[in-house]
Amino acid sequence: METEAIARRNRNGEVMSEKANQAAIEEQTATPIKEVEPKTNRLDLVAVLARIFVGALFIYMGIAKAINPDAFLTLVRQYDMVTVPFVLNAIAAALPWFEIFCGILLVLGVAVRGTALMVLLMLAPFTWIVLRRALTMSAAQALPLCAIEFDCGCGNGITPICPKLVENCFLMFLSAWLLSGKGRQFALRFSLLGKRVSAASQ
């Protein structure tokens, strides 16, 4: 009887020891769940600044053209893109206000990706047109490309063309970056089809 009691105590001790070991292993292997607070990435802040910069620049350029539509019409005519007077007048009248509209949307953060696409579609052909005219003038005057200067219609008056081309390429890069989905922090309505994005939710 004593032998059986001792055997039972030993078995009970082994079972309790196994349970204790199992509990210790579970405590060691268990991964505590921690709430991760959202942190604003520095790159996201740079994207926000880029969005505001592009938007503010387009507002400025649009206002510079809108306050003097006759001069802008003359500049548009120099590129020989369109010969129909009605189309020329429509471009000179509508383009400045469309630039202002796109700039306001970017600054406020409304429909950012769609607006960035519109900006990109304006910049790309315009940059090509400016480059083509600069190459034509360079060949006609026997001057290096970077020595060519003229008023491209951007609202800055007569400017060297090489820095202007670099500036446009940089703006196209920023627009493409915003088109990829960046710059949604502090956006009033980043996507017209999605949910509202607030600064607090980032």
Query: pLDDT digit string (tens) for 147-173?
Result: 999 888 887 788 899 999 999 999 999
User: What CA–CA distance (Å, rounded) separates 59 from 114?
Assistant: 17
Which residues of the chain register pLDDT less than 50?
Answer: 30-38, 196-202
Residue written as token pair 């953060």: 109
pLDDT of residue 144: 92
Residue written as token pair 């996507």: 191
Q: Domain spans of the chain?
A: 42-201
Query: Residue 194 is encoded by which pair of tokens?
Result: 């999605």
How would you write 116-161 as a 3-class SS string? Answer: HHHHHHHHHHHHHHHHHHHHHHHHHHCCCHHHCEEECCCCCCEEEH
pLDDT of residue 6: 55
pLDDT of residue 155: 74
Could you tell me if 165 and 123 are in contact, meaning their C-beta atoms sit under 8 angstroms apart?
A: no
Contact partners, residue 69, CB within 8 Å, separation at least 6: 92, 93, 96
